[in-house]
């Protein structure tokens, strides 16, 4: 029976991984400008939920290196005023806006939406790339 159990567990792990990690994307921002990392969920199905944003991929539980978290729509942790929730949180838009993006902001960020129950959380990993802005030269007439 051990091979059957082992097979079942490996299938369960795959199903969980597919259901729990819901998205990975790359966002490009411009140095010195605001940049928004997307994260949304359905409030009609779940109501307003607790969320967290962390620097690094979303781990098995909670957020790693939490930079911002919100409980029932109220921000409870905010490591810097540069990290903002500017979307319609009550409608499920918990996208993270980084104000005045710096080169050091580049990297992976993780958003976790805490849906009640086991293995229900939504997880979104975003790779942020900060690029130099383009200078617009004006030619003399």
- pLDDT score at 117: 87
Residue 1 confidence (pLDDT): 42
Tell me, what's the pLDDT at 12?
A: 33
Alpha helix ranges (H) inside the chain = 2-20, 43-46
Q: Which CATH class is domain 22-131?
A: mainly beta
Q: What is the DSSP string of 43-75?
A: HHHH-S-EEEEEESS--SSS-SSEEEEEETTEE
| pTM, full prediction | 0.78
CA 53 to chain centre: 5
Query: Residue 112 in contact with residue 121, Cβ under 8 Å?
Result: yes
Per-residue pLDDT at 24: 77
List the domain boundaries for the chain. 22-131
pLDDT values of the chain reduced to their tens digit, one per residue, 141 residues: 444 333 333 333 333 333 445 567 999 999 999 999 999 999 999 899 999 999 999 998 888 899 999 998 899 999 999 999 999 999 999 999 999 999 999 999 999 999 998 888 999 999 999 998 764 444 455
């Amino acid at each position: 029976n051990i091979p059957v159990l082992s097979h079942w567990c490996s299938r369960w792990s795959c199903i969980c991984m597919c259901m729990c990690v819901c998205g990975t994307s790359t966002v490009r921002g411009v140095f010195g400008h605001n940049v928004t990392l997307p994260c949304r969920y359905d409030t009609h199905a779940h109501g307003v939920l607790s969320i967290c944003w962390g620097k690094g991929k979303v781990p098995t539980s909670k957020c790693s290196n939490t930079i911002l978290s919100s409980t029932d729509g109220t921000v409870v942790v905010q490591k810097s005023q540069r990290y903002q929730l500017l979307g319609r949180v009550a409608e499920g838009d918990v996208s993270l806006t980084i104000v005045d993006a710096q080169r050091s902001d580049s990297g992976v960020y993780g958003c976790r939406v805490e849906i009640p129950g086991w293995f229900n959380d939504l997880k979104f990993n975003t790779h942020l790339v900060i690029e130099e802005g383009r200078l617009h030269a004006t030619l003399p007439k």
